[in-house]
Structure 1
Amino acid sequence: MLKDLKYLSAYLLPLSFLLALVLGGVWSWASVILAFGIFPILDALLPASTENLSPEKEAEKLSNRFFDILLYLCAPICYLLIGFYFYSISNVPMENIEKIGLTFSLGVVLGALGINVSHELGHRATKGEQFLAKMGLLPVLYMHFFIEHNRGHHKHVSTPLDPATAKKGEWIYVFFFRSIFGQYRSAWMLEKERLAKKGLSMWTWKNEMIRFQCYQILYLLSVGVMFGWSMVPFALSISLIAVLLLETINYIEHYGLQRRLLESGRYERVLPKHSWNSDHEMGRIVLFELTRHSDHHYLASRKYQLLRHMDESPQLPTGYPGSMLMALVPPLWMWMMNKRVPQTPTLVASMQ
């Protein structure tokens, strides 16, 4: 059980943001410095672990509610931090550079504890967990991710049909636009198809995309009413930063990887080799094992504490925080990664 307490380290990010609010000044950037300064260094210093759990340990961890509670607390924590942020920005005298630092810091926290945890809970079957997933996506204005990720990305990953799969040689700044707009459009199409199967028009309140847009507009209106209309641009800013954090992760997770198109016209099933993996310890802990992404795509229902190292999965040269920094410098990223991308498979292959 003591070893499991390591996942409490994920809460270092919200604690760093509270520190940023209290101390101000250069500390306003505390969460950014922690995520992209300290964590990459720790990833480089701490040994990566390829150890997998025994069947007995898996059963023990699966029945331990501690791992679920850690996730359930994230959405409430995010909303508390958002409230403190808007109150401080609107009431406490501070320099513009401090406001910018706090905005970037909160965006990082909402990306890690908001979107990332919503991603994990969005794969769960219970209504309560799915509700928490949607609540985590609301303040980043990315609720359509709940639809597109589960019904689109996991189906089409590592194929040209998936806007969230980066092509080999594609700069991340081009990918941002293609992925963000492509996923949004895909979510609308998926809901339209779902409703059509039930004989319903897409212009109905049963369309989750319509509901999501209304909830997000109400959220922004609530920010304006409670904290002042000048806070709405700040709400949009923290959302953008969190979304770009997510899309940077999307970029590194499947960069250049492709599934074979079979003679049947369908793509081969998703295998561990279709996702980049990282066993670097710090990234694994603070992102609730998201970095063991190969196993996640191989079996999306597997809970984070059970995710396995897969020998056949391609490995990132460093942890997620370091890889994300490299991705922001495209020539460096491609110099490091293009030689690691497996040779492009034949687009049409036999069913063997």
Structure 2
Amino acid sequence: MSWIKRIGFLTAFIIPALAILGFYLGGWWNYLTICFVFVLIPLADSLIGEDPENMEDTDALIISEQFYYRFITYIWAIFQLAFLVWASAQVASTTMEVHEWVGFVLSFALVTGGIGITVGHELGHKKSALERFYSKLILMTVCYMHFYIEHNRGHHVHVATPKDPATSRKGEGFYRFWFRSVLGSYRSAWNIERASLKRKGEKVWSLKNEMIWFTILPVLLAVTLTLSASLWQGRLVWEVPVFFFTQAILAFSLLEIVNYIEHYGIVRKEISPGRYERVNPMHSWNSNHRLSNFFLFQLQRHSDHHANAIKRYQVLKHYEESPQLPSGYPAMILMAAFPPLWFKQMNPKLKDWEEKVYLKEC
């Protein structure tokens, strides 16, 4: 892998750096991160273009085991917790105008949700106990720990079928999808964990039920942050829990809008009642825009991720035959936030995909 790509994955740390800089500059500078993500990155994506490079399988075997790429994700996991503690301290000790607070929380959520959950997603797919621990740590900071269960044992099994709450349907706007996915994914995680415990002969309502821990731990984290800030400031710092849960909702909403983009309208063929064809690179929307892929650890090469879920981010491949998004995720997020614009742009592309699949079957 070229040195450019090795350095490129470090660009993710630009986002929190801008959030911190914006806070200390104050005022409208708190929107610096938002402008960077939703204005400068889409513009740069269009200017720099796409990345068609796929490494040879022999090279991929070597690079997938290089510690450097894992180390970046480990550092991020530790950083995200420290970043949350720093932000809580600023919220507790600083008086901000409404527009400053809104910009600060939005910028913070772009870090914890846009980059953080992406890293948590990457780590949660791995077999290493340390990587899985870091995944849960990240997800705890955004109150979405059930994602660890549902995504790996639910979404990846049922993606592009009616059984998957995280697969957006043709003609379904993001806001309707948000409620279905958020509530459905949490319920699905409980069902998966309940079934797993019953197979092992364990009681559902016991300390071995991860969903109980996953529900309680984020609340305990919020309580710990609030009590620490209150003892420090000598008053009940109500601003900290408001900040914590607001950024969490915004962060996992960012995850859900990415879910919406990645799977909009894609369906797998039902080969017999309740059984579907094997997941392949045709079953996820793909984006190969170079710059946004650096910031998102190649999450946008989503087609290969679903076809080969355990594959590490640095060796994911681009598949030309996969359905292709017209831009990287930052621009697509803005588009998805306005359903009429999304439908106008994406429904014709979805129709092309449907015709391509139909012709392939014929």
Judge same fold: TM > 0.5, yes or no: yes
Q: Does 1:256 align with 2:265?
A: yes
TM-score (norm 2): 0.93
SS at match of 1:338: helix
CA contact (8 A) 2:18 2:33 kept: yes
- Name the counterpart of 1:63: 65
Report the equivalent of 1:155: 157
CA 1:148–1:123: 2 relative to 1, 3 Å: same
Q: Give every structure 1 segment of 4 or more consecutive aligned residues whose post-TM-superposition deviation is greater than 4 Å.
A: 344-347
1:346 to 1:124, Cα distance in 2 relative to 1, 3 A: closer
Aligned to 1:95: 97
Task: Answer yes or no: is 1:105 the counterpart of 2:116.
Answer: no
1:343 to 348, 354, 361: 354
C-alpha displacement at 1:55, in angstroms? 2.6
The aligned length equals 349
| 1:18 correspondence with 2:20 | yes
1:295 paired residue number: 304
1:305 alignment partner in structure 2 = 314
Is the 2:115–2:295 contact (alpha carbons within 8 Å) kept by the matching residues of 1? no
Q: Once the 2 structures are TM-superposed, how far is the Cα of residue 82 of structure 1 from its aligned partner?
A: 1.4
| Structure 1 counterpart of 2:214, one-letter code | F
Cα deviation code 1:16-50 (max 9, x no counterpart): 11112211111111221111111111111112012
Cα distance in 2 for partners of 1:164, 1:265 equals 18
What pairs up with 1:105-144 in 2 under 5 angstroms? Answer: 105-144=107-146
Q: How big is the shift at 1:345? A: 10
Structure 2 CA distance, aligned partners of 1:83 and 1:137? 15
Q: Aligned partners of 1:252, 1:334: CA distance in 2, in Å?
A: 12
- The alpha-carbon distance between structure 1 residues 46 and 267, as it changes in their structure 2 partners (threshold 3 A), is same
Alpha-carbon shift at residue 125 of structure 1 (Å): 0.2
Alignment of structure 1 residues 276-287 onto 2, 5 Å? 276-287=285-296
Instruction: Give the one of 198, 213, 216 matched to 1:211.
Output: 213
Residue 2 of structure 1 corresponds to 3
1:264: Cα distance to partner? 5.8
Matched, 1:220 2:222: yes
Q: How does 1:37-52 map to 2 (within 5 A)?
A: 37-52=39-54
Q: Which residue of 2 aligns with 1:274?
A: 283
CA contact (8 A) 1:21 1:85 kept: no
Distance of 1:85 and 1:71 partners within structure 2: 21
C-alpha distance in structure 2 between counterparts of 1:249 and 1:13, whole Å: 18
Note the alpha carbon deviations across 1:290-317, whole angstroms, 9 max, x for none: 0000000000011000000112210001
Per the TM alignment, residue 57 of structure 1 is displaced from its structure 2 partner at its CA by 2.6
Rounded to whole Å, the distance in 2 between the matches of 1:198 and 1:18 is 47
Quote the Cα distance in structure 2 between the aligned partners of 1:65 and 1:50. Answer: 25
Shift of 1:346: 10
Query: Which residue of structure 1 lines up, in the alignment, with residue 323 of structure 2?
Result: 314
Which residue number in structure 1 is paired with residue 233 of structure 2? none
Q: Post-superposition shift, 1:343?
A: 2.2
Gaps of 5+ in 1: none
| In 2, Cα distance between equivalents of 1:47 and 1:33 | 20
Contact 1:21 1:88 in 2 (8 A): no
TM-score by length of 1: 0.96
The C-alpha deviation readout for 1:237-290, integer Å capped at 9, x for no partner, is 000110111001000000000001112641101010100000001111000000
SS in 1 for 2:136: helix
Aligned to 2:234: none
1:93 aligned counterpart, secondary structure: coil
Give the counterpart of 2:167 among 165, 168, 175: 165
Structure 2 SS opposite 1:73 = helix
Report the Cα distance in structure 2 between the residues aligned to 1:117 and 1:336, rounded to whole angstroms.
Answer: 29
- In structure 2, the partner of 1:54 is 56
Equivalent pairs: percent with the same residue?
Answer: 40
Unaligned runs of 5+ residues in structure 2 are: 230-236
Task: Give the Cα–Cα distance (whole angstroms) in 2 for the partners of residues 176 and 240 of structure 1.
Answer: 11
Query: For 1:17 and 1:79, how far apart are their aligned partners in 2?
Result: 15
> How is 1:223-242 mapped onto 2 (pairs within 5 angstroms)?
223-227=225-229, 228-242=237-251
